[in-house]
Amino acid sequence: MLTKTRQFGSMIFLMIAGVSVLGCSSRGGKQSGAIAAETQRNSSASNAGAIQPCKILTAAQVTTVLPNHDDGMVTDSGDSIMKGVKSYGCSYVSKDANLMTVVLSIAENEERFSWIKPSEGSHRDDRKIDIGDRGWVYGDPGNLKIEVVQGLAVIDLKLMAPGAQGKSAEMIELARVIAQRLRK
């Protein structure tokens, strides 16, 4: 019963996210004028060096787990409700309404990191992966999740698509790429 409820909830989230992303996009998956203007503001000189969420991975890398995807939509560009924690996110939607999200949460110090770091207890039933300082892969057949800690950052990758678990090796590799970039 709980699994069916989770699957239903995941399907509803996917549908809402897909409609939101598709509604904000225009021809060929390009960003709409409003989103393009916001992206331009976020990449201005005052934000030089800031993380650009939809450029963390290349289109070719995203395609390894989500073929026929759009250009991505920035969901978080640094601002966070937690003081001392920056959040960066990008959502990709495929033409068949599957979804991949990339979210980075980066703390400015150890105290702030203690607010966002995943607990070992919350992952006791999940498969550990050797990425960054520690990492896990979990989910169900249509909803794969990867969480990695790298320094003062938490990397969250999610793939919501039929057969998502079959893409775990590719998703783990994407998490590894992001963790390596954060080390630099």
Instruction: Find where tokens 């320094």 sit.
Output: 151
Q: CA-CA distances (angstroms) from residue 122 to 28, 80, 105, 107, 126? A: 40, 23, 18, 20, 9
Q: What is the DSSP letter of 94?
A: B
Burial readout 2-36 (b: 16 or more C-beta within 10 A, e: otherwise): eeeeeeeebeeebeebbeebeeebeeebebeeebe
Tell me the CATH number at 46: 3.40.1000
CA proximity to 179, closest of 122, 143, 135: 135
What pLDDT, on the 0 to 100 scale, is given for residue 43? 37
CA proximity to 51, closest of 153, 159, 176: 153
Contacting residues for 76 by C-beta, under 8 A, at least 6 apart: 53, 87, 88, 89, 103
Q: What is the mean pLDDT of each run of 10 residues along the chain (184 residues)?
A: 43 42 38 35 44 95 96 91 93 97 96 92 89 94 95 97 95 96 85
What pLDDT, on the 0 to 100 scale, is given for residue 158? 98
What pLDDT, on the 0 to 100 scale, is given for residue 161? 97
The count of domains in the chain is: 1
Residue 121 structural domain: 2-183
Check: CB of residue 35 under 8 Å from CB of residue 26.
no
Q: Which two tokens stand for residue 108?
A: 């400015």
Three-state DSSP class for 107? Answer: strand
Check: CB of residue 75 under 8 Å from CB of residue 89.
yes
Check: CB of residue 157 under 8 Å from CB of residue 175.
yes
Kind plus residue range of the DSSP H or E element containing 121? none
